[in-house]
């Protein structure tokens, strides 16, 4: 309430702060997270977790549909079996190439895979020129 009073004073407003708080205090929107949005949505960003090689299939099926950008967490598989991780990443890369999509590592444990309509922005590393 003190914040609104200070803003009101600086802006020279004469409306009571209490009116503002009473008006917006109880308004909120409840979101149903279990509802299937289906084909209404143009693009879906979906997360996947790789715990074994077989988990790749679900992510790749979603990407092949052409409407999904996949965020793939590889930490569990990396900690469990590095050979399976390499095999999984190779499978993802091959599929990504086949659909003309894009793939990038966002962090040590997260991959982003997009279908052909999206491109992943990458910073251009500029090397310094030494004389």
Q: Hey, what domains does the chain have and what are their CATH numbers?
A: 40-114 (3.30.110.150)
pTM, full prediction? 0.62
Tally Cβ neighbours within 10 Å of residue 59: 24
Say what the pLDDT of residue 131 is: 41
CB-based burial label for 67 (10 Å; 0-12, 13-18, 19+): middle
Classify residue 45 as exposed, middle or buried by CB count within 10 Å of its CB (0-12, 13-18, 19+): exposed
Question: Cα separation of 75 and 85, whole Å?
Answer: 9
Q: How much is the pLDDT for 28? A: 60
Beta strand segments in 1-128, E: 44-49, 68-73, 102-107, 110-114
Q: What is the DSSP letter of 93?
A: H
pLDDT the model gives residue 43 = 87
pLDDT in tens, the chain (131 residues): 566 666 666 666 655 545 555 554 555 666 665 666 555 557 899 999 999 999 999 999 999 988 899 999 999 999 999 999 999 999 999 999 999 999 999 888 999 999 988 888 887 654 444 44
């Amino acid at each position: 309430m003190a914040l609104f009073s200070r803003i009101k004073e600086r802006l020279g407003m004469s409306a009571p702060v209490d009116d503002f708080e009473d008006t917006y205090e109880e308004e909120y929107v409840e979101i149903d997270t279990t509802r299937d949005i289906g084909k209404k949505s143009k693009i879906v960003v979906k997360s996947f977790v790789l715990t074994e090689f077989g988990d790749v299939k679900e992510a790749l099926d979603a990407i092949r549909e052409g409407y999904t950008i996949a965020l793939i967490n590889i930490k569990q598989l990396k900690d469990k079996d590095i050979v399976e991780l390499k095999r999984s990443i190779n499978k993802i890369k091959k599929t990504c190439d086949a659909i003309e999509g894009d793939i990038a590592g966002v962090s040590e444990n997260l991959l982003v895979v997009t279908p052909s309509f999206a491109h992943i922005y990458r910073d251009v590393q500029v090397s310094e020129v030494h004389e």
